[in-house]
Amino acid sequence: MPNPTAAMLVIGDEILSGRTRDANMHYLAGQLTAAGINLCEVRVVSDDRTAIIAAARALSVANDYVFTSGGIGPTHDDITADCIAAAFDVHVDVRDDARALLQAHYDASGKELNEARLRMARIPDGATLIDNPVSIAPGFTLGNVHVMAGVPSVFQAMVASVLPTLVGGAPVQSRTLPLMRGEGDVAAPLTAFAQEYSDLSVGSYPFQKDGAYGTNLVLRGQDTVRLDEALGALKKVFSV
Per-residue pLDDT at 165 exceeds 90: yes
Q: Structural domain boundaries of the chain?
A: 5-165, 173-237
Inter-residue contact 170 to 226 (CB < 8 Å):
no
Question: What is residue 35's three-state secondary structure?
Answer: helix
CATH of domain 5-165: 3.40.980.10
What distance in Å separates the CA atoms of residue 235 and residue 240, rounded to the nearest whole number? 5
What distance in Å separates the CA atoms of residue 30 and residue 25, rounded to the nearest whole number? 9
The pLDDT assigned to 1 comes to 75
- pLDDT level of residue 91 (50, 70, 90 thresholds): very high
- pLDDT level of residue 171 (50, 70, 90 thresholds): very high
Per-residue pLDDT at 225 exceeds 80: yes
pLDDT digits (tens, 9 = 90+) for 93-152: 999 999 999 999 999 999 999 999 999 999 999 999 999 999 999 999 999 999 999 999
Inter-residue contact 215 to 182 (CB < 8 Å):
yes
CATH of domain 173-237: 3.30.70
pLDDT digits (tens, 9 = 90+) for 39-48: 999 999 999 9
- pLDDT level of residue 199 (50, 70, 90 thresholds): very high
The model's pTM: 0.90
What distance in Å separates the CA atoms of residue 99 and residue 236, rounded to the nearest whole number? 63
What distance in Å separates the CA atoms of residue 170 and residue 144, rounded to the nearest whole number? 20
pLDDT digits (tens, 9 = 90+) for 46-64: 999 999 999 999 999 999 9
- Beta strands at 145-148 and 65-69: parallel, antiparallel or unpaired: parallel
What are the E-state strand segments in the chain? Answer: 5-11, 38-45, 65-69, 92-94, 122-124, 128-130, 139-142, 145-148, 173-179, 201-209, 212-221
Which candidate, 75, 86, 77, places its Cα nearest to that of 45? 77
| CATH topology match: 5-165 vs 173-237 | no
Tell me the one-letter amino acid at 159: V
Per-residue pLDDT at 173 exceeds 80: yes
Question: What is residue 28's three-state secondary structure?
Answer: helix
